[in-house]
Structure 1
């Protein structure tokens, strides 16, 4: 049974509004993890990882345009999210933290670490951060539908109640084994509106803006290759829809040059793109790497 940790929900002022943040307080001197979710997700994706990090302060914002940060105004991009992360650290008087990012959050983390290397002691990238550009002229919506599938279709749907939304995800092949109150709370945070017309809290414009930046910006592609802080990347065996080959095929990882550049690479067998953070075994694996990163980092608060 995973430990249930005390938490607090708060807001942090950023350009365009108030960013919603879930924070699990830690023990003095035990270090801080700043955790960044994926393109159509929210901060509660990190709940199970936080549950494995007793004593470590874990701070997980809903990125602008998602979850309870849906109404934060202004365009989205990896650089804009990096600015928001800096504001979050300042709000909680954290001078330096371990930075983790899942999926698109990995790209945000790499850009943030390149922009503010003194604020981050180490990076833990989880099935994200390594770019693969899309063909010139490809329609971003079509690419997103092909890659993230149901996570994109949900933006076009309404749901009569929370149970219907949970059932929608229960039918997702990568969610087949993902159950429990933590997963339900994560899904509930992605709902807005009122029954019988609930819809995803993800703002479609923010998803598209981030996808354009993540998939077409050379500076975003380069960030992982230009890091000046220690970094590691965990990559899942299986894909976004539980395909046998993950988001990063073994040959892609081998050809990336990351290992030669000093990024430690860790293959995570048996997990897919979602279960690596939302599943109990995946969360334990990620937390073990985070725990090591925190232990190797000096504790710094302003």
Structure 2
């Protein structure tokens, strides 16, 4: 059963729905709301359990998260949108493309991958979920996950970004983080979905991303029938936060081109 998501909705024009990374919230898209709302309608929901959205009682599932987003779009009167997702948000965007393809004008996949988890990665997610539920804390995520979320350049030169991401992680409810880890552990391979996608796509990846690499990004770009790839320099897994100007420029050019062809 779908959950009604809390969402920030600013600007006007072509709708751009941005889905946040794990274990953050729509607060991560501040620079995108500020930088892009003058040109597009920017909708940034908190995925279920995160930020201002309730978790609900469903079994952990990326598909359930995608259905939530489709319900939000209907509620906000958005027939079709460019849907973008970073990391976990990318998994949700790909599930939306599979389950609700008529909702898409275009697809932006940033620092994410279409392959399912390896057995080792799946076990690690489930272990962290158990620890978070037992401790009622996301400490294990901050200790183990934060070092991989940001690139070396950010650790050396962007102390404010590091502090902001750490704060966003610490604000995440442990129950929501455990639910999302289980949902991601169970997600299927999405390459078939990408091959069937009929809308234009933009694939973005930070050149210092250790979690979802440039190889992962190229594999998605090659699977998509109509896609372009951009590698963002001096950015790790959270390219939209680490290099917001470059990220915004790439997305703005992509959405503007789509809007022109849709007229």
1:233 paired with 2:194, answer no
Q: Mark the structure with the bigger radius of gyration.
A: 1
1:114 paired with 2:115, answer no
Equivalent in 38, 44, 48 of residue 21 of structure 2: 38
Once the 2 structures are TM-superposed, how far is the Cα of residue 259 of structure 1 from its aligned partner? 6.2
Contact 2:17 2:82 in 1 (8 A): yes
Going from structure 1 to structure 2, the CA distance change for 1:120 and 1:141 (only over 3 Å counts) comes to same
Going from structure 1 to structure 2, the CA distance change for 1:108 and 1:71 (only over 3 Å counts) comes to closer
Contact 1:66 1:201 in 2 (8 A): yes
Mapped to 2, the partners of 1:171 and 1:122 lie a distance apart of 29
User: Which runs of 5 or more structure 1 residues have no equivalent in the other structure?
Assistant: 1-13, 147-152, 159-164, 193-199, 241-245
Mapped to 1, the partners of 2:194 and 2:85 lie a distance apart of 12
Going from structure 1 to structure 2, the CA distance change for 1:81 and 1:172 (only over 3 Å counts) comes to closer
Mapped to 2, the partners of 1:190 and 1:254 lie a distance apart of 28
Mapped to 2, the partners of 1:213 and 1:229 lie a distance apart of 26
Partner of 2:233: 269
Aligned runs of 1:53-202 on 2, under 5 Å? 53=36, 54-135=38-119, 138=120, 140-142=122-124, 155-157=137-139, 174=151, 176=155, 177-178=157-158, 180=160, 184=164, 200-202=172-174
| 2:49 partner SS | coil
What is the CA deviation profile of residues 241-282 of structure 1, one whole-angstrom value per residue up to 9, with x for unaligned ones?
A: xxxxx62144x55556716733222222211112x1112xx2
What is the CA deviation profile of residues 149-201 of structure 1, one whole-angstrom value per residue up to 9, with x for unaligned ones?
A: xxxx994439xxxxxx9xx96998645344559974x7656556xxxxxxx32
Alpha-carbon RMSD across the aligned residues, in angstroms, is 3.6
Once the 2 structures are TM-superposed, how far is the Cα of residue 132 of structure 1 from its aligned partner? 4.7
Partner of 2:131: none
| 2:199 partner SS | coil
Going from structure 1 to structure 2, the CA distance change for 1:173 and 1:107 (only over 3 Å counts) comes to closer
Equivalent in 194, 205, 212 of residue 247 of structure 1: 212
Equivalent in 255, 258, 262 of residue 294 of structure 1: 255
Once the 2 structures are TM-superposed, how far is the Cα of residue 127 of structure 1 from its aligned partner? 1.0
1:224 paired with 2:194, answer yes
Contact 1:70 1:201 in 2 (8 A): no
What TM-score does the superposition give when structure 1 sets the normalisation length? 0.68
Equivalent in 1, 8, 15 of residue 2 of structure 2: 15
Contact 1:49 1:283 in 2 (8 A): yes
| 2:203 partner SS | strand
Going from structure 1 to structure 2, the CA distance change for 1:154 and 1:99 (only over 3 Å counts) comes to farther
Partner of 2:132: none
Partner of 1:284: 245
User: Which runs of 5 or more structure 2 residues have no equivalent in the other structure?
Assistant: 129-134
